[in-house]
Chain A
Amino acid sequence: MSRPLTLAEKVWRDHVVAPGVEKDGQRSPDLLYIDLHLVHEVTSPQAFEGLRLAGRPVRRPDLTIATEDHNTPTLEIDKPIADPVSRKQVDTLRDNAEEFGVRLHSLGDDDQGIVHVVGPQLGLTQPGMTVVCGDSHTSTHGAFGALALGIGTSEVEHVLATQTLPLNPFKTMAITVEGTLKPGVSSKDIILAVIAKIGTGGGQGYVLEYRGSAIEQLSMDARMTICNMSIEAGARAGMIAPDETTFDYVKDRPHAPQGADWDAAVEYWRSLRTDEGAEFDTEVVIDADALEPHVTWGTNPGQGVGLGESVPWPQDFADPGDRDSAERALRYMDLEPGTPMRDIRVDTVFLGSCTNSRMEDLRAAAGLIRGREKDPEVRMIVVPGSQKVRLQAEAEGLDQVFKDFGAEWRFAGCSMCLGMNPDQLAEGERCASTSNRNFEGRQGKGGRTHLVSPVVAAATAIRGTLSAPSDVLAAHPA
C-alpha cells in the first residue's frame, strides 16, 4: 500500500500532468492541470495582451470564467463608470472576453460579483479541483477541499495559454480547531486567532488544512471565511476536507454534476480526506472554546488581540522587528498603548469583501441590528458579495433591516476592502471592517482599519466603539 497522504497531497497527485525532472541535482517543478481559472479585470489585461503578442489562443475557455468586481461602483451601476481609468480596465476585460471567447459576468448581470463569491455560488467550485485566479484570496475555494492558489499575472497568462501551471511542492500544516465556539464568536475570529498565533509569515511554503470538531460544525460560508484569510498567514493555500456539509452546498447548483455524474463525483470526493497516519510537516492546535471575538489594532492581520484586551505596549514584544513594526503601526493607527480595545471609537463600519459578504454574514449582522439603533455618528456600508447574494438578501427582507438601521445598502463588488472604486476611507478615518487586510492605506489613503467579524461589525455600528454582540445584548435590548 502506498504511504498515507494528506488532502492536499491527494489533490496534487491527481493533477500532475508531468512530474518534475531531476537533472544535475536540480528538480524542475511538477506541471499541474488547472480545473478552473477565475478571471477579473485587474490582473488580466497584461496576460491577454501577452497572448495576443504571442498569437496564442485561450486553451480552455470552457474552464475559464470572468467577472467584474474590483473597480465596479456599488451605486448607480446603470451609469458608465465615472473614473475613466477604472472604466478602461473594465472595458478591456469585456473586449478580451469577447475576443478570446471567455464567459463574462458584467456589471448589472445577476451573476456578477466578487469572483470568490461567484465561483462557489454557481457550483463551479467543487471538491478535489485545482482552482486559480490572479488574486491572493483564491484560497477561499479551499473550503471545498479544492487546491486553490492565488497567482500573478504571468501565471494568469500561463494558465490561459496552457491550462497548466508549473508548481514546486509545498509543505503541509494541520491547524486543528477543537471545541465549540461561544455565541458571538465566529469563523472570522478563528482565522484572526490563527494568524495572530502563527504570524503573517507563519504559513509560508505551506498548504494549511483546517480540521477538528469546530471546523466540522461550520457552514460552507463560515469555512470560506477561514480559507480566504490563509493568505494573511502567508500560506500558499488553505483547505478543509469535503464532507456532507460540502456536498449539500454543491448539490443542485447550476454547474453541479447531475445524475450518475453526481454519484461518481461524491464517491471520489469522499476519498479526499487526509488518510489515517498521514504526516503533516507542522501542526498547530487552537482551542475553540477559549476564543473571544478578535480585533486587530495594527497594520497587518497578525497584529490583533481579543476584544477584551488592550492595545499592546511595543516594548512588550521580544523580537526587535516586531517591536519596530508595532511602534510604526500604533503611530499610523493613532493609538495609545494600554487603551482598552472596547474604548476605540470608529467612524465607519464596512460589511463586505470576499471574506465576509455571503448570506450567512449578512443574516448574522442583520439579526443583531434588527430593532436596534445605529450610533448616529457612525456610517455603515453593506456591500453584498454578489448580485445573487443581494437579491437573496432582498427576498429575505434584510435590505430593509439595514436601511431601517441607517446603513447604506449597495450593489455587489470588492468595494471598500481595497478602495479601487469610489468606496474609500478619508484620511484619518477609522473603520471596523469585515475585510481581510488592515494594511496602511488599503481602504483609502490614510484610512485606519480594524478587522472584525460581521457580528462585531454590527455591534460596533450600534455602540460606536469596537464591541462584541454580548455588549449589545446587555445594554441595548431590541
Chain B
Amino acid sequence: MEPIIRHTGVGVPLRASNVDTDQIIPAVYLKRITRTGFEDALFSAWRRDPEFVLNQPAYSAGSVLVAGPDFGTGSSREHAVWALKDYGFRVVVASRFADIFRGNSGKQGLLTAEVEQAEVERLWKELETVPGAEVEVDLESRMVRCGAVEAPFAIDDYTRWRLMEGHDDISLTLTAEQDIVDYEASRAAFKPTTLPART
C-alpha cells in the first residue's frame, strides 16, 4: 500500500448527507471480479445529471471529496472505496463516517478525515466560491487547509500510523502466527465446523 502523509488536490464540495454506498457505486457494478477499473461506476446515477458537481470542469479532476455527515452508510461493499480511489480521490472529508466504510478506506489507503460540520460548511463555501481550489490534508499534523479555512481532523492513531507507513494488514497479523496457533488449541470442542458437511 502506498503511504500517504500529506496530500494536496482539488476539493470537491458534495452537499449531501447520508451518502450511502449504493449511491457511491450502484449494485450493478458489483458483478465485476477485478479490483480496479471502477472509475466509471463512481456516483454513476448522479453523474447522469449534468449539474452534478463532478460534471463541472473545475471539479472533475478532484481528489479531496468534502461531503455531508454519515458518508458511506449502508452496504459493506468495498467497491465504494475502490471506485473513489480509481476516480482519483485520496481523501474524503466529512463530519461523520459509517464504520464499515471507514474501515474499508483505511485498508485501501483512502484517508477519511473527520472534521466538525461547521468546518465542512466553511470548506463548502470556500470550494464553491473558488471552484477548483486545492485542499491540503496533512496526516502528520491532522489538519485540513483550504484558502482561509484551517481545520483539525480526527482519525484513530492506529489507522493514521498504518496509512503513513503504508502497512498491509495481513502481513502485520501473520507476525502473530504463534498466538493464533495457541488460541486454536484452546477453542472449545463444541464449536461447530462446516466440514464435513451435515445437512
List chain A positions with a Cβ less than 8 A from chain B: 17-18, 20, 25-29, 31, 33, 35-36, 42-43, 45-46, 49-50, 54, 56, 61-65, 70-71, 83, 85-86, 88-89, 92, 103, 110-111, 122-124, 126, 129, 134-136, 150-155, 157-158, 161-164, 166, 168, 200-201, 204-205, 231-232, 234-236, 254-257, 261-262, 264-265, 268, 300, 321-322, 324-325, 328, 418-420, 437, 439-442, 445
Contact = CB atoms under 8 A, between A and B. Distances in A.
A163 B170 CA distance: 11
Contacts of B191: 35, 126, 129
Given A89-B32, A103-B197, A152-B78, 10 more contacts: A36-B192, A86-B31, A89-B33, A154-B108, A201-B96, A234-B99, A325-B16, A325-B18, A419-B28, A420-B30
Contact of A166 (B68, B99, B172, B195): B172
A27 B27 CA distance: 36
Contact of B17 (A17, A231, A325, A439): A325
Contacts of B180: 17, 31, 33, 162-164
Given A152-B81, A155-B107, A437 B190 contact: no
A431 B157 CA distance: 44
23 contacts: A33-B187, A36-B194, A50-B35, A54-B170, A62-B193, A124-B192, A124-B194, A134-B78, A135-B75, A135-B76, A152-B77, A153-B79, A164-B180, A201-B18, A204-B96, A232-B74, A321-B17, A321-B69, A324-B16, A324-B17, A419-B27, A439-B74, A441-B45
B176 A49 contact: no
A31 B179 contact: yes
A440 B173 contact: no
B129 interface: no
B35 A46 contact: yes
Nearest to B26: A441
B199 interface: yes
A154 B30 contact: no
B173 A158 contact: yes
A64 B194 CA distance: 6
A154 B107 contact: yes
Nearest to A38: B194
Query: A49, A56, A163, A201: which has the most chain B beta carbons within 10 Å?
Result: A201
Contact of A265 (B20, B78, B190): B190
Given A26-B158, A33-B180, A162-B170, A46 B195 contact: no
A108 B195 CA distance: 20
A63 B179 contact: no
A85 B156 contact: no
A43 B74 contact: no
Contacts of A70: 27, 30
A290 B75 CA distance: 31
B45 A257 contact: no
B157 A25 contact: yes
Given A136-B100, A234-B99, A437 B74 contact: yes
Contact of B22 (A232, A328, A442): A442
Contacts of A445: 26, 45
A301 to B, nearest CB: 9
B104 interface: yes
Contact of B170 (A42, A65, A126, A157): A157
B103 interface: yes
Interface string B97-114: 111100110011000000
Interface string B65-87: 00011100111111101000000
5 nearest A-B residue pairs (beta carbon): A152-B78, A152-B104, A26-B157, A45-B33, A254-B198
Interface of B: 15-18, 20, 22-23, 26-28, 30-35, 45, 68-70, 73-79, 81, 96-100, 103-104, 107-108, 117, 156-158, 161, 169-170, 172-174, 176, 179-180, 183-184, 187-195, 197-199
Contact of A27 (B22, B74, B96, B158): B158
Contacts of B195: 61-62, 103
Contacts of A321: 17, 68-69, 117
Contact of B35 (A49, A164, A205, A236): A49
A439 B23 CA distance: 8
Contacts of B16: 324-325, 328
A201 B189 CA distance: 39
A62 B197 CA distance: 9
Contact of B33 (A18, A92, A135, A162): A92
Nearest to A266: B190
A268 B188 contact: yes
B131 to A, nearest CB: 21
Contacts of A20: 158
Contacts of A42: 30-31, 77
Contacts of A124: 192, 194
* Most B C-beta atoms less than 10 A away, residue of A49, A111, A158: A158
A150 B30 CA distance: 16
Given A88-B33, A200-B70, A257 B98 contact: no
Given A154-B108, A234-B70, A85 B199 contact: no
B173 to A, nearest CB: 5
A33 B73 contact: no
Nearest to B103: A152
The CB with the most chain B CB atoms within 10 A, among A20, A36, A153, A231, is that of A153
